[in-house]
Amino acid sequence: MEDVNGRRYLDFLAGAGTLNYGHNNPAIVGRVIDYLSCNGIVHSLDMHTRAKAQFIAAFHDIILAPRALSYKLQFPGPTGSNAVEAALKLARKVTGRTNVIGFTDGFHGMTLGALAATANSAKRRASGVSLNGVTFMPYDGYLGEHVDTMDVTARMLKSSGSGVEPPAAILVEMVQGEGGLNAASANWVRALASLARELGAVLIVDDIQAGNGRTGTFFSFEPFGIDPDIVVLSKSLSGFGTPFSLVLIRPEHDQWQPGEHNGTFRGNNLAFVGATAALETYWRNDDFADDVTGKAMHVRARVERIAAALPPGAAWVKGRGLLTGIAFADAGTTTELVHRLFRADVIAETCGPHDQVLKLLPPLTTSLVELDLGLDRIEEAVETCVPKVAAL
């Protein structure tokens, strides 16, 4: 990125995961410009357009069919929160229940329904009203490495004496992007999917930040072999930063009546065009996913080396894929790092309940040379904070 004075920055934030394919990717933006130049329809509510039909066909043929996934596509309002709201409403409608299971450190959006399932106390306080209808369970690892939190969750949800209402839905992220880069293990995720089936609850995977290739596969849950009832996508779905969200619904759960969940900006045709271009450019085979996986391994090795150079217990690596970062025992170190990195022309952010994690979200198209340049600057910035960390 370049500012108004010509100063150049490496972007390791990528619009909080919205720009997985980089800024103004010509393979994507070129298609959008062509669409506008040909007087293509921009706004169409939920009516049919060629752009919409082409996206649906591409998403089915390139993403769903090769993965043997069968979903209906719902286009709610354009944000991730809109998709989460739709998913929660539908799960309650399908099951006739009201309670939703969320998880510690989870983040799902800032509108009231999504915020009710968000664990961050500071964000919840801003609601101004009571946030009800969600029971929180401990995420994988939340109670320490020696406690199986899925055992705790199963006991609570299957016991008639726990006081927890039978859930309409279980809402979960495979990697908690805002919650501190906590990554669920395969066994934990599979046990959760099995528990949801046993309870008759709708399993909703929030893939808004961890999806669209961020963890190496298009969906973050693919390596675990589960088949969620509902998947919500947004952020990088449009390919170039235009607001766009999508709810994937197993056909048997499509119980909406006309007009039960709608919105003015459901038919963002520029987003349809960009999304189709991104799918056709990057996801027709495994080459892009393999490239992301290789870059993720490289970044992981570098940040592990950075953390290992610090005093024992001062820092450790978290996350999965190119959704990776360094957690610091002293949250103040992380805040200082972000400011130092900005002065070193690297844009990055913090995450976690205490902003204790330096979060790295480079575009998936970032070259190894650019990644190493940014990582070099991160390593230098961390070294300047070592005395502060060592004094703990």
Chain segment 308-342, per-residue pLDDT in tens: 999 999 999 999 999 999 999 998 899 999 999 99
Q: Mean pLDDT over residues 372-392, rounded?
A: 79
Q: What's the mean pLDDT in 278-299?
A: 98
Q: Could you tell me if residue 5 is inside a domain?
A: no
6 exposure class (CB count in 10 Å sphere: 0-12, 13-18, 19+): exposed
152 in the same domain as 270: yes
Kindly state whether residue 246 falls inside one of the protein's structural domains. yes
Q: What is the pLDDT of residue 392?
A: 41
Residues 317 and 174 in one domain: no
pLDDT at 116: 98
Shared domain check, 294 and 165: no
Average pLDDT over residues 285-301: 98
Give the CATH number of the domain where residue 227 resides. 3.40.640.10
The average pLDDT across 88-107 equals 98
Q: Return the percentage of the chain with pLDDT > 70, whole number.
A: 98
Pairing of strands 230-233, 202-206: parallel
Q: What is the DSSP letter of 139?
A: P
Q: How many domains does the chain have?
A: 2
Q: Above 90 in pLDDT, residue 384?
A: no
Contact 334, 353 (CB under 8 A): no
| pLDDT of residue 178 exceeding 60 | yes
Shared domain for 215 and 359, answered yes or no, is no
Position 391 pLDDT exceeds 60: no
- The length of the chain is 392
Q: Do 16 and 93 belong to one domain?
A: no
Q: How far apart are CA 147 and CA 150, in angstroms?
A: 9
**Domain match, 269 and 338 both:** no
> Does residue 388 register a pLDDT over 80?
no
Does any domain span residue 30? yes
CATH code of the domain containing 18: 3.90.1150.10
Residue 220 placed within a domain: yes
193 and 305 in one domain? no
pTM: 0.96
Contacts of the segment 294-300: beta carbons below 8 A, 24+ positions apart: 295/322, 295/364, 295/366, 295/368, 295/371, 296/215, 296/216, 296/320, 296/321, 296/322, 296/324, 298/368, 298/371, 299/324, 299/360, 299/362, 299/371, 299/375, 300/324
Confidence of residue 389 (pLDDT cuts 50, 70, 90): very low
Q: Domain range for residue 375? A: 10-24+286-390
**pLDDT score at 390:** 46
Q: What is the DSSP string of 157-210?
A: HH-TTS-PPPEEEEEE-SEETTTT-EE--HHHHHHHHHHHHHHT-EEEEE-TTT
The pairing of beta strand 175-176 with beta strand 182-183: antiparallel
pLDDT band at 387 (very low <50, low <70, confident <90, very high): low
d(CA 203, CA 200): 9
Give the end-to-end CA distance of the chain in Å, rounded to a whole number: 36
Domain boundary pick from 282, 302, 333: 282
| Residues 153, 164 within the same domain | yes
Residues 237 and 318 in one domain: no
Q: Does 180 map to a domain?
A: yes
Average pLDDT over every residue of 200-213: 98
